[in-house]
């Protein structure tokens, strides 16, 4: 019904009755409003199915203030040069949400990049050809970025972690690989030779690091045109990119332009050596290292992009991501849903929610974004559900919210999402899912409370699968595999360094095939968590409690791990977890002696009445270990663990735990399993429920190896 004609169609009622009925009908019409948008439609549409709008802003404005309604996005590419912003005026209600959805799942593609006209590509000049690889130069094309007005093509900072402010480049619908040497990361990297100078920073005076390259390739790099190297120079969780000041062509001595805070050379090197000769590094963004199809690099001096197209058709589809801000930004929205969209090729985040309430991101594909896939900051009761998120520069999903001082939960949820190949640029502390943590540039400060992460599949990540901080989070029924691919000293599920990070539950997760990762890593004094009923298969360790207090580890099954089944240490003694430590300072910053803290976590108030360097209150009981070199490992003196209980754990040695069919990845325990006989209180693990589940937005579910579930 056209609202302009409502009055003429009413029966002969009194003026007041007719006016009231007109208002009711008008309200009903508005609340049921559906508008259509098609990027191929001509301008000036009305939003009807037969006459759709051609812009997302027009559709947004048609629903603005309506209090409910639906935007149907027809198939096509919706190119963005600015974020699509939805705010309070674009909200719905609990009964009538505003829904933005694709007519057909993933057929409406919102992208944050600009097209490169094919006619702008040129062949490199004679001087450029001298610089390029002899075997590839005939296939390389170049592009003057100034002609497109590209902003993110300035020189890298002297040292940084992550993307360094550079544009992103795509063709054939996918991100093209930034040129690097050696090719084949993470399987291949160069290794540092002798470290000649660690480097140091004293006030404003820097002494840059120097080392000897093991290979001669560096001799052909043109330092005057800019050379940057990325590497794990000191620790396997601290990758940095640093500009090179000089390269000795004969000596292969590489001198950096700036020093790192802790210098270069492995922190584990034994004096007098300054390094271990096994610190991995590689060169980035060098036109002379464009050697395989797809690789590209930007010459910062000329602001030109050089590219080796993977095929002739790729030049028709080349796009540059140069937009500041996310593709979709929701700020203060309420009762709004995003369904079935495809969000791709942005330079920043894919979808960003700030201070929203009851916003649902459902069934989206978010891919090839330079930031994180979906970021939830502040607000309450937002949900990310049944999304496919992959090939992001940073994390897959960030959840941050709640009031930690008052222990008020955010109730954000991440459920049934498939997340893989994240951390393309930020290789550490950019996990599949990051919950309220303070590391890695996620924007959080560890203050999040009460988030739920359930039924997600996370695999093929350079660092952690799930990283969390804060209080009262529930992490359950997830499958986490092939994490920590390029770093080390990390967990598939990880947290650290907070006595007050209490009330978190990690249960019924399937954590497998992480040969470089600890299964669940409660690192550096983390305290007050419960790790229960998880299945660990082929990791470094199972659950590991490292110096913290009042952690409960029970009912887990650890199978075929590299080193230890169950692990605990007392590192607080060596690291000085005393009453003046950073742990104590973080605790003192919270009202732990007041309600609701004193009711929820009464043991915190007693912690500093004793020696907080010694772990106390940990209980590691009724777990099952099989086929691990050391079923239990206490890395401490006996007196240092006198306040810890580690008992009633079952070591099956090399005995088969009684899986239904481990060869086919069916890790259910048979009823006649020796586990139930030797440990009668052990609860069967809900293996069929671990990982992705089919639902209305995910009609097909798979495991980490692509097998149907």
**57 backbone dihedrals φ, ψ, rounded to 5°:** -65, -40
Nearest to 607 by CA among 547, 538, 560: 547
In whole angstroms, what is the distance from residue 78 CA to residue 63 CA? 19
The structure tokens 């190119």 sit at 79
Q: What percentage of the chain reaches a pLDDT higher than 90?
A: 87
Radius of gyration of the chain (CA): 28
HSE at residue 388, side-chain half, CA atoms within 13 A, is 15
| 119 has pLDDT over 60 | yes
Nearest to 323 by CA among 370, 278, 376: 370
| 442 has pLDDT over 80 | no
Least confident of 3-12, 155-164, 284-293: 3-12
| 500 has pLDDT over 60 | yes
Tokens of 62: 């048609």
Residue 233, strand partner residues: none
Tokens of 309: 């197209």
Contact 452, 412 (CB under 8 A): yes
Nearest to 358 by CA among 331, 376, 381: 381
Average pLDDT, integer, range 215-236:
93
Nearest to 653 by CA among 520, 566, 545, 559: 559
Contact 154, 164 (CB under 8 A): no
For 648-690, what is each residue's pLDDT tens digit? 999 999 999 999 999 999 999 999 999 999 999 999 999 999 9
Q: What residues contact 27, with CB distance under 8 A and at least 6 apart?
A: none
Sheet holding 174-175, edge to edge: 113-115, 319-321, 168-171, 174-175
Residue 67: per-residue pLDDT: 86
Average pLDDT, integer, range 480-499:
95
Average pLDDT, integer, range 47-61:
97
For 361-385, what is each residue's pLDDT tens digit? 999 999 999 999 999 999 999 999 9
Contact 507, 530 (CB under 8 A): yes
Tokens of 653: 């040695």
HSE at residue 595, side-chain half, CA atoms within 13 A, is 1
For 557-614, what is each residue's pLDDT tens digit? 999 999 999 999 999 999 999 888 889 999 999 999 999 999 999 999 888 788 999 9
Domains by residue range for the chain, with CATH: 1-31 (no CATH), 114-179+288-319 (no CATH), 190-284 (2.40.30), 488-691 (no CATH)
In whole angstroms, what is the distance from residue 364 CA to residue 416 CA? 12
Contact 505, 483 (CB under 8 A): no
For 141-196, what is each residue's pLDDT tens digit? 999 999 999 999 999 999 999 999 999 999 999 999 999 999 987 678 999 999 99
Sign, CA torsion 238/241/246/249: positive
For 27-38, what is each residue's pLDDT tens digit? 444 445 999 999
In whole angstroms, what is the distance from residue 535 CA to residue 689 CA? 12
Average pLDDT, integer, range 32-60:
95
Cis amide leading into 186 (omega within 30): yes
Contact 514, 539 (CB under 8 A): yes
HSE at residue 570, side-chain half, CA atoms within 13 A, is 20
For 518-552, what is each residue's pLDDT tens digit? 999 999 999 999 999 999 999 999 999 999 999 99
Residue 459, strand partner residues: 420, 481
In whole angstroms, what is the distance from residue 144 CA to residue 477 CA? 50
In whole angstroms, what is the distance from residue 404 CA to residue 1 CA? 50
- Report CA 123 to chain centroid distance, whole Å: 38
DSSP 8-state class, residue 74 = P
Contact 447, 470 (CB under 8 A): yes
Q: What residues contact 146, with CB distance under 8 A and at least 6 apart?
A: 303
In whole angstroms, what is the distance from residue 246 CA to residue 254 CA? 6
6 confidence band (pLDDT: 50, 70, 90): very low
Residue 669, strand partner residues: 659
Residue 188: per-residue pLDDT: 85
DSSP per residue over 318-384, as a string?
A: -EEE--SS-SEEEES-BSEEEES-EEE--SS-SEEEES-BS-EEES-EEES-SS-SEEEESSBS-EE
Contact 449, 186 (CB under 8 A): no
In whole angstroms, what is the distance from residue 232 CA to residue 438 CA? 21
The structure tokens 């007693």 sit at 606
For 238-278, what is each residue's pLDDT tens digit? 999 999 999 998 999 999 999 998 999 999 999 999 999 98
In whole angstroms, what is the distance from residue 538 CA to residue 704 CA? 14
Residue 446: per-residue pLDDT: 65
| 354 has pLDDT over 60 | yes
In whole angstroms, what is the distance from residue 350 CA to residue 375 CA? 8
**339 backbone dihedrals φ, ψ, rounded to 5°:** -135, 130
Residue 505, strand partner residues: 474, 530
DSSP 8-state class, residue 415 = E
**Taking the complete model, does pTM exceed 0.85, yes or no?**
yes
Strands 351-354 and 505-507: unpaired
Residue 232, strand partner residues: none
Query: How buried is residue 466: exposed, middle or buried, by Cβ count under 10 Å (0-12/13-18/19+)?
Result: buried
């Amino acid at each position: 019904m056209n609202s302009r004609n409502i009055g003429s169609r009413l029966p002969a009622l009194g003026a007041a009755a007719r006016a009231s009925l007109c208002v009711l009908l008008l309200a009903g019409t508005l609340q049921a409003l559906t508008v259509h948008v098609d990027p191929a439609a001509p301008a000036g549409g009305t939003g009807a199915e037969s006459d759709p709008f051609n812009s997302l802003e027009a559709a947004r404005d048609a629903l603005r203030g309506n209090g409910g309604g639906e935007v149907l996005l027809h198939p096509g590419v919706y190119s963005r040069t600015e974020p699509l912003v939805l705010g309070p005026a674009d909200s719905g209600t609990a009964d009538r949400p505003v829904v933005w959805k694709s007519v057909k799942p993933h057929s409406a593609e919102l992208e944050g990049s600009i097209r490169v006209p094919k006619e702008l590509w040129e062949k490199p000049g004679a001087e450029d050809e001298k610089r390029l690889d002899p075997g590839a130069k005939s296939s390389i094309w170049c592009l003057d970025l100034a002609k497109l007005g590209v902003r993110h093509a300035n020189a890298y900072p002297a040292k940084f972690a992550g993307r360094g402010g550079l544009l992103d480049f795509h063709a054939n619908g996918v991100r093209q690989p930034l040129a690097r040497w050696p090719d084949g990361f993470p399987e291949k990297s160069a290794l540092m030779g002798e470290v000649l100078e660690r480097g140091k920073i004293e006030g404003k005076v820097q002494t840059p690091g120097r080392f000897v390259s093991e290979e001669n390739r560096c001799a052909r790099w043109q330092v005057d045109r800019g050379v940057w190297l990325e590497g794990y120079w000191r620790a396997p969780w601290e990758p940095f990119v640093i500009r090179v000041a000089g390269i000795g062509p004969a000596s292969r001595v590489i001198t950096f332009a700036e020093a790192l805070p802790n210098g270069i050379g492995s922190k584990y090197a034994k004096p007098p050596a300054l390094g271990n000769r096994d610190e991995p590094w590689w060169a980035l963004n060098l036109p002379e290292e464009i050697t395989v199809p797809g690789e590209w690099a930007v010459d910062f001096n000329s602001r030109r992009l050089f590219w080796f197209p993977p095929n002739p058709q790729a030049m028709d589809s080349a796009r540059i991501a140069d937009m500041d801000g996310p593709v979709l930004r929701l700020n203060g929205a309420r009762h709004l849903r995003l369904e079935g969209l495809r969000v791709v090729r942005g330079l920043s985040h894919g979808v960003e929610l700030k201070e929203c309430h009851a916003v649902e991101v459902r069934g989206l594909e978010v891919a090839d974004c330079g930031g994180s896939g979906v970021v939830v900051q502040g607000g309450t009761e937002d949900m990310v559900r049944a999304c496919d998120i992959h090939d992001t520069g940073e994390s897959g999903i960030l959840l941050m919210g709640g009031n930690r001082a008052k222990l008020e939960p955010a109730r954000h949820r991440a459920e049934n999402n498939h997340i893989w190949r994240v951390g393309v640029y930020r290789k550490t502390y950019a996990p599949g899912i990051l919950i309220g943590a303070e590391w890695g540039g996620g924007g959080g400060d560890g203050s999040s409370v009460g988030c739920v992460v359930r039924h997600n599949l996370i695999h093929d990540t350079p660092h952690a699968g799930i990283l969390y901080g804060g209080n009262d989070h529930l992490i359950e029924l997830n499958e986490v595999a092939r994490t920590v691919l390029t770093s080390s000293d990390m967990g598939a599920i990880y947290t650290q360094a907070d006595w007050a990070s209490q009330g978190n539950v990690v249960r019924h997760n399937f954590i497998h095939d992480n040969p470089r990762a600890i299964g669940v890593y409660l690192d550096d004094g983390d305290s007050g968590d419960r790790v229960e009923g998880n299945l660990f298969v082929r990791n470094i360790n199972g659950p590991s409690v490292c110096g913290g207090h009042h952690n409960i580890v029970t009912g887990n099954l650890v199978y075929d791990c590299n080193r230890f089944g169950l692990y605990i240490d007392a590192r607080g003694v060596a690291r000085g977890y005393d009453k003046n430590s950073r742990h104590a300072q973080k605790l003192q910053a919270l009202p732990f002696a007041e309600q609701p803290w004193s009711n929820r976590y009464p043991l915190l108030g007693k912690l500093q009445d004793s020696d907080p360097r010694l772990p106390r209150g940990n209980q590691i009981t009724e777990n099952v270990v099989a086929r691990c070199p050391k079923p239990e490992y206490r890395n401490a003196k006996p007196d240092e663990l006198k306040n810890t209980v580690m008992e009633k754990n079952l070591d099956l040695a090399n005995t088969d735990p009684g899986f239904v069919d481990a060869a086919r990845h069916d890790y259910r325990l048979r009823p006649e399993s020796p586990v139930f006989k030797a440990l009668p209180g052990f609860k069967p693990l809900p293996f069929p429920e671990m990982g992705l589940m089919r639902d209305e937005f995910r009609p097909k579910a798979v495991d980490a190896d692509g097998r149907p579930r």
